[in-house]
């Protein structure tokens, strides 16, 4: 919203609007779920500002619509473009279909993506995650087999934690840290305190077909949870916790981190693959939209 306010000021003061300006504002709309504002700018960019839409603008509009769950509209936009769609658009919409549970659109986009990039290794990771979210375990398994045949390894979840200028790295389920015993004891304490606050784990983020109890266990040992547990042990009371994560934070870790920030009175700054999350007093700067 600050970006939109600045854009309005820029226009009011007569500064010229170019394609980069439009793209920056549309990206702000995408990350804040401001669909109407993003759509207005996309529709008016050529008429009002003389900026011809490029592939990046179409891609950003698809992202805006997809993140907000308007998947039919996003597909219609891709189908009606004057420019040939690129693979990034299809990937964006497939991810959104996985999040919003739209199997048919997702599979149509998968066909287009594989026609365009049949040998791209990262696409098989995307397919595996998509089918796992749909609970189509055999299709997910098939995608993982194809990954293995191509020699592709999915990057494990990793979190870096800064404690007094020293970086500590954690992987999911990691037990190699010297303070591993204390970390896992703290995990148990955190779980108990969050349960008292009414937290119930959301297992939709678990990408394997295992028992519900095992899914809850897997969530508890995601890399950022281990990092937070160690930070609570090793850093000064009240000190901010700073984490860098290589993957997108899952919905359950996001919810639990919000609660940790309130229960333990800690500011937690987490940079995941998508954006910065600033947790404070049980809230996140992303407004639960990322």
Vertex 109: Cα angle to 40 and 55 (nearest 5)? 45
Of 150, 166, 185, the residue that ends a domain is: 150
The Cα 33–Cα 69 span in angstroms is: 10
> CB count, 10 Å around CB of 245?
23
What is the tens place of the pLDDT at every residue in 152-190? 766 778 999 999 889 999 998 889 999 999 999 999 999
Give the range of the structural domain holding residue 113, as residue numbers without chain letter: 1-150
Closest to 270 (Cα-Cα) out of 207, 222, 227, 230: 227
Instruction: Give the mean model confidence (pLDDT) for residues 79-102.
Output: 93
Is the pLDDT at 204 greater than 60? The verdict is no
158 against 220, higher pLDDT: 158
- Residue 45 and residue 171 in one domain: no
What is the tens place of the pLDDT at every residue in 11-46? 999 999 999 999 999 999 998 889 999 999 999 999
CATH of the domain at 53: 1.25.40.10
Give CB contacts under 8 A, 24+ apart, made by 206-213: 207/128, 207/129, 207/132, 207/133, 207/140, 208/132, 209/135, 209/137, 209/140
- Residue 7 and residue 145 in one domain: yes
What is the tens place of the pLDDT at every residue in 230-269? 999 999 998 999 999 998 898 889 999 999 999 999 999 9
The Cα 208–Cα 180 span in angstroms is: 25
Q: Which tokens belong to 117?
A: 């990039």
Of 104, 128, 150, the residue that ends a domain is: 150
């Amino acid at each position: 919203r600050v970006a939109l306010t600045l854009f309005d000021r820029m226009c009011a003061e007569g500064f010229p609007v170019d394609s980069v300006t439009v793209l920056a504002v549309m990206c702000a709309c995408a990350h804040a779920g401001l669909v109407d504002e993003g759509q207005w700018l996309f529709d008016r960019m050529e008429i009002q500002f003389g900026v011809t839409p490029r592939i990046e603008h179409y891609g950003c509009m698809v992202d805006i619509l997809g993140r907000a769950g308007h998947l039919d509209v996003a597909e219609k936009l891709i189908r009606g473009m004057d420019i040939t769609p690129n693979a990034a658009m299809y990937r964006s919409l497939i991810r959104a279909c996985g999040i919003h549970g739209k199997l048919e659109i997702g599979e149509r986009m998968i066909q287009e993506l594989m026609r365009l990039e049949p040998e791209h290794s990262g696409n098989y990771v995307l397919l595996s995650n998509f089918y796992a979210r749909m609970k189509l375990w055999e299709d997910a398994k098939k995608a993982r087999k194809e990954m293995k045949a191509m020699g592709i390894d999915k990057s494990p979840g990793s979190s870096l934690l800064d404690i007094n200028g020293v970086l500590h790295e954690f992987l999911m389920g990691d037990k190699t840290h010297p303070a591993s015993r204390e970390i896992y004891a703290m995990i148990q304490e955190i779980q108990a305190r969050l349960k008292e606050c009414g937290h119930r784990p959301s297992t939709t983020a678990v990408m394997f077909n295992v028992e519900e109890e095992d899914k809850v266990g897997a969530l508890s040992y995601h890399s950022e949870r281990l990092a937070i547990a160690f930070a609570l042990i090793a850093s000064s009371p009240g000190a901010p916790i700073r984490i860098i994560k290589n993957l997108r934070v899952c919905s359950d870790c996001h919810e639990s981190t919000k609660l940790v920030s309130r229960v333990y009175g800690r500011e937690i700054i987490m940079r995941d693959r998508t954006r910065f999350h600033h947790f404070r007093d049980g809230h996140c700067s992303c407004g639960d939209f990322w």
